[in-house]
Homo-oligomer: A and B are copies of this chain.
């Protein structure tokens, strides 16, 4: 293998690594170039004029995953349909220019139609590649975040997945409206009270109001209301899981992503009788890009 440039280019940031011929990372850098901030045509230009030079990447072959393959990014890359394994994904790599290929997102059957992801598939297949034993049997993989993804993986193939807007609900409710608060979600006890208050995951619009009434009644300190809200939303998502993916309480969930957020999910899962294991999302993304550069096993 030659050296290559690996990029996870999402909505808010671009993370880039130069990977040497021996597979070791020789340089890495993060750029505030999330596709949400870019004008049409800007991604390609800034990648060539800023990102490659900043990493002395010259004209190294590059593989890019994430929202860079969407209408907001460099160019729209067609989705690959589930069920899909790493080789299927590698076949869908899209040549954006002579040196750069973009990883396709995944599309699968979802609630009321198709569900889609762009970027999480690369983390997911990277997580599988990090331990080849994972390519056998069944796994449930969760990527917490603004739009959390829950995927069912069987024998190395993503069978289907579902997206929950839990992170976005938390963002908009904690920034606007009656539950607005500057307090960080750092009260573990209030968080777990929220997880319990989620019940079986229904009646969310009514349950959310309890984040207000508990404060009014003096049962919840105002500065803990954000933690309670976070627990209520994540608890509601977890309680919905058996209906969303036909999985049973007690199964092990692999959490891929930001350490702090994965930590809250792990607490909520454990509290509700699931088993959770947390893995670093960046390392998984890098491993996925490396596996794709190697040809995806095809």
Give A180's nearest chain B residue, CB to CB: B172
Complex CA gap A165/B176 in Å reads 13
Does A151 reach chain B (CB closer than 8 Å)? no
Complex CA gap A210/B206 in Å reads 21
A106 smallest CB distance to B (angstroms): 12
Report if A208-B112 is in contact (Cβ < 8 Å); known contacts: A203-B201, A203-B240.
Answer: no
Which of B172, B203, B206, B209 is A173 in contact with, Cβ under 8 Å? Answer: B172
Complex CA gap A201/B213 in Å reads 22
Does A169 reach chain B (CB closer than 8 Å)? yes
Does A111 reach chain B (CB closer than 8 Å)? yes
Instruction: Assess whether B210 is in contact with A113, with CB atoms less than 8 Å apart.
Output: yes
Instruction: Assess whether A243 is in contact with B111, with CB atoms less than 8 Å apart.
Output: no
Number of identical monomers bound together in the oligomeric complex? 2
Does A114 reach chain B (CB closer than 8 Å)? yes
Report if A114-B217 is in contact (Cβ < 8 Å); known contacts: A168-B178, A175-B176.
Answer: yes
Does A268 reach chain B (CB closer than 8 Å)? no
Report A148-167 CB contacts with B as 1/0, cut-off 8 Å.
00000000000000111110
Q: A244: which B residues are within 8 A, CB to CB?
A: 203, 206
A103 smallest CB distance to B (angstroms): 18
Instruction: Assess whether A112 is in contact with B243, with CB atoms less than 8 Å apart.
Output: no
Does A6 reach chain B (CB closer than 8 Å)? no
Does A236 reach chain B (CB closer than 8 Å)? yes
Instruction: Assess whether B203 is in contact with A169, with CB atoms less than 8 Å apart.
Output: no
Give A234's nearest chain B residue, CB to CB: B205
Q: A216: which B residues are within 8 A, CB to CB?
A: 114, 116
Does A187 reach chain B (CB closer than 8 Å)? no
Q: A217: which B residues are within 8 A, CB to CB?
A: 113-114
Instruction: Assess whether A219 is in contact with B113, with CB atoms less than 8 Å apart.
Output: yes
Report A182-217 CB contacts with B as 1/0, cut-off 8 Å.
000000000000000100111111111110011011
Given contacts A115-B213, A165-B178, 12 further A-B contacts (CB under 8 A): A112-B210, A113-B217, A114-B213, A164-B205, A164-B209, A166-B205, A172-B172, A200-B202, A202-B240, A202-B243, A205-B236, A205-B237
Q: Can you list 24 A-B contacts with CB-CB less than 8 angstroms, sorted by A residue number? A: A111-B209, A111-B210, A113-B210, A113-B219, A114-B213, A115-B209, A115-B213, A162-B206, A163-B213, A165-B206, A165-B209, A168-B173, A168-B178, A169-B169, A169-B208, A172-B172, A172-B176, A202-B202, A203-B240, A203-B243, A204-B205, A205-B236, A205-B240, A206-B237
Show the binding face of A for B, using Cβ within 8 Å: 110-116, 147, 162-166, 168-169, 171-173, 175-178, 197, 200-210, 213-214, 216-217, 219, 233, 236-237, 240, 243-244
